[in-house]
């Protein structure tokens, strides 16, 4: 049994540059003519499943028995910065950020959450842009959150995602004219007073910049890692670099970078034009030694879908765009699975009392 587990653990996924199978997560049951293998994986593997099963079968081709292989998703909580305490029913928090507004950060956050969900994970999204919430429109929902106890709120479920936004609580045309402390207090309330339901990943769609909201996130919210969104043009790359530097400074790992609006796709002739420059995201990722998670084209279909509350992943109108978002989500999940597990909340709290 141990030899079989050792062999499986040593399998190397060349494409993702990882050893996907941990010995402690491999369970082997052997009978006279059959081998049943059950493996728990800490990342979404829906698009990798058949390939992984083929790798295991090939690895064990010297065994003259029928081999049954079952892969199960088992996402665990991973290490977060400082002494921040975990959020109830949330295993991992992913901050999606950009240094500059208008680069499509909220679009990427929305589609990242849906892609992770389609790959099998339980996912939520918190719209942390208090001044300009976008997620209610993108998720096509304008419901008011319910409260069962008068103290907490139920997330709004849309397209299978648990969502929460200040946009659900105020009128669409009502401006939020608040000072910094009110904004940060609201963010903490939305995060901590929402009854999240057993989330593998909670996506936080941050406002642009490196201000109060980002500082509150770094100091008080247990963030597993960040995803930076940029366009290829220099004016966006300059601010994206500041975002990368900010997360480095507060000890939040940079999971990777998404290059949005990478190339314009003409809807009539299919011609591709790099109107915002070429390979800016690739260059920035290499400069900072972080992963380029993927590139999303500038396509009018994405804008129409997002404005209608039906993100492109909900149908297969443009398979290449769907594949790009799913690939990004897969890489994010794999990257998080490679991080150290979170043991902070597994130790008992020691309280010293005076008699």
Q: Does residue 100 have a known ligand-binding role?
A: yes
Q: Does residue 104 have a known ligand-binding role?
A: yes
C-alpha closest to that of 36 among 2, 65, 6: 65
Q: Does residue 105 have a known ligand-binding role?
A: yes
**What is the C-alpha to C-alpha distance for residues 353 and 346, in angstroms, rounded to an integer?**
22
Q: Where are the beta strands (DSSP E) in the chain?
A: 26-30, 34-41, 66-73, 90-97, 123-127, 156-158, 161-165, 199-205, 225-230, 254-259, 264-265, 272-273, 292-295
* Contact between residue 96 and residue 208 where contact means Cβ atoms under 8 Å apart: no
Q: Does residue 106 have a known ligand-binding role?
A: yes
> Which residues lie closer than 8 Å to 9 by C-beta, 6 or more apart?
19, 21, 22, 23, 26
Q: Does residue 263 have a known ligand-binding role?
A: no
Q: Does residue 91 have a known ligand-binding role?
A: no
DSSP state of 226: E
Q: Does residue 65 have a known ligand-binding role?
A: no
DSSP state of 248: H
Q: Does residue 309 have a known ligand-binding role?
A: no
**What is the C-alpha to C-alpha distance for residues 198 and 173, in angstroms, rounded to an integer?**
33
Dig out the tokens for 151 from the structure: 């103290």
Residues in the annotated binding site for ATP: 99-106
Residues in the annotated binding site: 99-106
């Amino acid at each position: 049994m141990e030899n079989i587990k050792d062999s499986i653990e040593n399998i190397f996924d060349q494409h993702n540059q990882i050893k996907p199978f941990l010995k402690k997560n491999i369970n082997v049951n052997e009978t006279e003519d059959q081998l049943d293998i059950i493996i728990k994986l800490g990342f979404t593997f829906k698009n990798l499943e058949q390939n992984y099963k083929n790798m295991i079968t090939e690895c064990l081709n010297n065994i003259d028995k029928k081999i049954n292989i079952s892969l199960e998703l088992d996402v665990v909580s991973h290490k977060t910065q400082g002494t921040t305490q975990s959020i109830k029913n949330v295993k991992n928090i992913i901050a999606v950020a950009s240094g500059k507004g208008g680069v499509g950060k909220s679009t990427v956050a929305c589609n990242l959450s849906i892609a992770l969900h389609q790959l099998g994970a339980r996912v939520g999204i918190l719209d942390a842009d208090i001044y300009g919430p976008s997620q209610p429109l993108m998720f096509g929902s304008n419901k008011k959150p319910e409260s069962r106890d008068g103290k907490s709120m139920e997330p709004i479920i849309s397209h299978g995602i648990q969502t929460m936004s200040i946009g659900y609580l105020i009128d669409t045309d009502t401006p939020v004219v608040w000072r910094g402390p009110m904004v940060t207090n609201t963010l903490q309330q939305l995060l901590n007073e929402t009854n999240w339901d057993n989330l593998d990943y909670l996506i936080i769609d941050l406002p642009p910049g490196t201000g109060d909201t980002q500082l509150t996130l770094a100091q008080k919210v247990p963030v597993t890692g960040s995803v930076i969104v940029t366009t290829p043009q220099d004016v966006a790359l300059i601010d994206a670099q500041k975002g990368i530097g900010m997360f480095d400074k507060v000890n939040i790992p940079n999971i990777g970078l998404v290059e949005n609006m990478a190339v314009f796709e003409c809807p009539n002739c299919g011609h591709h034009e790099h109107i915002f420059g070429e390979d800016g995201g690739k260059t920035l990722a290499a400069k900072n030694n972080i992963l380029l998670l993927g590139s999303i084209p500038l396509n009018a279909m994405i804008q129409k879908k997002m404005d209608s509350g039906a993100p492109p992943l909900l149908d297969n109108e443009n398979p290449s765009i769907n594949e790009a978002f799913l690939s990004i989500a897969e890489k994010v999940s794999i990257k998080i699975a490679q991080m150290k597990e979170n043991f902070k909340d597994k130790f008992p709290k020691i309280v010293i009392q005076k008699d």
